Amino acid sequence: MGLPRVGILADDRLQQHLLKSALLHFGFDVAVATDPTRLPDLDQASLDLDAWVVDLREDDQEDYEWLDELLVGDIPVLIGLEKAPQKNCLTFPKWEKRLYGKLKELLKSTPVVAEDVSVLDKLGSSNTPVIPLPAEFSGHDYTGRIAQQVWVLGASLGGPGAVKAFLDALPAGLPVAFVYAQHIDPRFEETLCKTIGRHASYELKNFTAGEPLRCGEVLVAPISHEFRFDNAGQPFSLQRDWPGPYGPSIDQVILNVAAHYEQRAGYILFSGMGNDGAEAIVTLTDKNVPVWAQTPDSCANSSMPESAIETSRVDFIGDPYQLALQLVNSVKHSWIHKHEPITH
């Protein structure tokens, strides 16, 4: 099945451009993007569209017969969108996500944003060299201790391979835990755990309410229900779906982790389709909280990290191995800062 084909009719050139950019970002095939006055010149049959997106900003247009014809036709029409904010505006990711959500309701099929089991079946050893454990952690056994530092790993299409390479490169013994939010078919949630953790020094586990995060663990965020952490750091289910068009919502995972761990958290966005994560990272008020992204050219799908980078909130970009190296150094420097003797 090919990508859903969409036509854009917008009388504002900037809106035209932003709509096209957003739809391409979410994996749609934009067959045409033009002014409504050009509609009579188009060979609509050859466009073979799955939907029209119509955006009208001019109030003085009198002839809307073309619109009436579209609305009574066989092709679904999305109309009545709010004006897109500037791309560098904090509300742009939210606008993009609403656009995707409305098209998802309108169409029988939308671009795939979640991985399926076929990708997991192909993942073997990543042949990633393991980074040496810093001397500061030698002789310390953090295994089983409640994690004081937690990192969110967010990913979608292409994510399992990237996250596996990242985790495979990390040495055992770091005093950290992870929450891994991956868009994937819910049927393969347990398979994801087994596959990604096969060669890693970190134990991947599925969600269990009441079990706090411990050093050396990677909690795979549940796909079917939202969870948070209570004041004691114990995860609990909210017994409801994740907000937004897909689960788990990486944006909501970031917000829920930030609510408990605050400055003790960090966030890394890997390969993926769409813009999940971009909306949440701009709300992180503490600029010392690290937000990193995978380099777009190392991604199987670069939309998600690109959306994050466009917010200007990302402070490090690297391939999976570089991200792992950066994390080891970051954890080491954080440990040194907390344990260095006070001199007078």
Distance in angstroms (rounded) separating the CA atoms of residues 261 and 263: 6
Rg (CA), the chain: 22
- Across the beta sheet with 203-206, the strand order is 203-206, 217-220, 177-182, 150-155, 265-269, 291-294, 316-318
Question: What three-state secondary structure class fits 211?
Answer: coil
CA atoms within 13 A on the CB side of 298: 18
DSSP 300: S
Q: Of the residues 126, 183, 251, 303, which is catalytic?
A: 183
Return d(Cα 180, Cα 154) in angstroms, integer. 6
225 part of the active site: no
- Mark whether 156 is an active-site residue: yes
Active-site entry in 25, 276, 298, 303: 276
Catalytic residue flag (residue 302): no
- In degrees, rounded to 5, the angle at the alpha carbon of residue 203 between the alpha carbons of residues 243 and 314 is 50
The total number of residues shown for the chain amounts to: 344
Sign of the alpha-carbon dihedral angle for 112, 117, 122, 125: positive
Catalytic position from the list 126, 156, 249, 298: 156
- List the catalytic residues: 156, 183, 276
